[in-house]
Amino acid sequence: MKKAFKAIKVNDHVYWVGAIDWGIRDFHGYATQRGTTYNAYLILADKVTLIDTVKAPFKEEMLSRIASVIDPGDISYIISNHSEMDHSGSLPEAIEAVKPERVFASAVGVETLASHFHIDREILPLKEGDSLSLGNLNLSFVETKMLHWPDSMFTYLIEDGILFSQDAFGMHLASSERFADEIDDDILEYEGAKYFANILLPLSSLVTRLLEKVGKLNITINILAPDHGPIWRKDVNRMPEFYSKWAAQKLTRKAVVVYDTMWQSTAVMARAIGDGLSAGGASVKLMPLRACHRSDVATEILDAGALLVGSPTMNNNMFPTVADALTYLRGLKPRNLIGTAFGSYGWTGEAVGQIKDVLSAMKVELVGEGIKVRYVPDDDALAQCFSLGSLVAAELSKS
């Protein structure tokens, strides 16, 4: 496979030498229906430099792309912007194959890489404001702690105005096109939002601060080069502007109704609630959990103002799929939501109270008492469901 794969030219100095993972459908619990890419970048400076690597199974592909433009042994420096193994998994093999003069990471990255790979190789720390001469070109570094790992940092190629932003501004999108301007805008916005909702949402306040910090650096960004998905060489502010909006999590008139059902009772309640929400002027998305993945629910919640959750009671508990979705959503810490709970039961009916407890723990402002219906809802029960939807819509309209 030595030269089977080709590097893709980004500009006169930089090549993409990553890998396209067309087949991945689960990324630690996040459904990646469109696959992903692991982007690594080669800077052809006096000191040839590799920025990040790829997930371990793709290491030969990365080395092959590098070999299509230079002898991998000519690489002087490797910089790890982020230690998570989709970007560092090939680092030990790359060090072994390339034998670089120096390997760099953030100070936390040095520790994190050591804890991952236990290799006998010195990794040098870089900190905020450091610069690194590559001879004819220069790099600077921006610490982005907790975005989304403690080790995360950006690398900036000063002369060309390229920001290598690791996970930030990326998306899980496998494509033969390497540049965002070659891809449909709606796909970019949806997959960018999905990435933000499922990875960065709990860190929204840090995202806001980071955007302010990068703004104050007063740097020119000609190319935005994340570690997943396409590279931005036009409209480089588009993703940062979306990040600013998504991080603010402003209350909107959209309601997401998430539920599962055993014998269709909770499902018909969900539909009646949905009709009440619509009649009240809300935009409504019903998400039955047999048809919708938890990570797609998170994506819809990103721009929602209300979260309504329904579950039957099974063996004194909420339904397992509902517990799964709520555990996931709770971890993502969405803000500025109102909500309620509903569900059918036969004997004990604990699920609605359990859901309300989780929603309260998520700081979702509860509207009404929620609705429990024994066995199968009759017309009166469905009218109550419609009214609950209308009540939530009325609360949303106050925003």
Residues carrying an active site annotation: 28, 82, 84, 86, 148, 167, 195, 228
Give the residue closest to ligand FEO by C-beta. 84
Helix axes 238-248, 204-217, angle to 10 degrees: 140
Nearer to ligand FEO, 143 or 350 (CB): 143
Contact partners, residue 297, CB within 8 Å, separation at least 6: 256, 258, 287, 289, 325, 328, 329
Residues 193-212: x/- map of binding to ligand FEO (CB under 6 A)? --------------------
21 interacts with ligand FEO by CB under 6 A = no
Nearer to ligand FEO, 137 or 147 (CB): 147
Nearer to ligand FEO, 168 or 309 (CB): 168
Alpha-carbon distance 325 to 332, whole Å? 11
Alpha-carbon distance 292 to 285, whole Å? 11
Contact with ligand FEO (CB under 6 A) among 34, 228, 356, 372? 228
Closest CA to 200 of 240, 155, 259: 240
Closest distance to ligand FEO from the beta carbon of 87 (Å): 6
227 interacts with ligand FEO by CB under 6 A = yes
* Contact set for ligand FEO, span 135-164 (CB under 6 A): 148-149
Residues 71-110: x/- map of binding to ligand FEO (CB under 6 A)? -----------x-x-xx-----------------------
Closest distance to ligand FEO from the beta carbon of 248 (Å): 23
Query: Number of residues in contact with ligand FEO, rule: CB under 6 A?
Result: 9
First to last CA, the chain: 58
Closest distance to ligand FEO from the beta carbon of 157 (Å): 20
Closest distance to ligand FEO from the beta carbon of 88 (Å): 9
Closest CA to 39 of 68, 14, 16, 61: 16
260 interacts with ligand FEO by CB under 6 A = no
Nearer to ligand FEO, 83 or 384 (CB): 83
Whole-number Cα distances in Å, 365 to 131, 253, 278, 359, 392: 47, 15, 20, 8, 11
Nearer to ligand FEO, 143 or 167 (CB): 167
Closest distance to ligand FEO from the beta carbon of 85 (Å): 8
Closest distance to ligand FEO from the beta carbon of 82 (Å): 6
Nearer to ligand FEO, 84 or 395 (CB): 84
* Contact set for ligand FEO, span 159-188 (CB under 6 A): 167
Nearer to ligand FEO, 91 or 306 (CB): 91
Q: Are strands 41-43 and 48-51 parallel, antiparallel or unpaired?
A: antiparallel
Cβ distance 51 to 77 under 8 Å? no
Closest distance to ligand FEO from the beta carbon of 228 (Å): 6
Tokens of 23: 């087949």
Q: Is the CA virtual torsion 56, 324, 228, 130 positive or negative?
A: negative
Contacts to ligand FEO by CB under 6 A: 82, 84, 86-87, 148-149, 167, 227-228
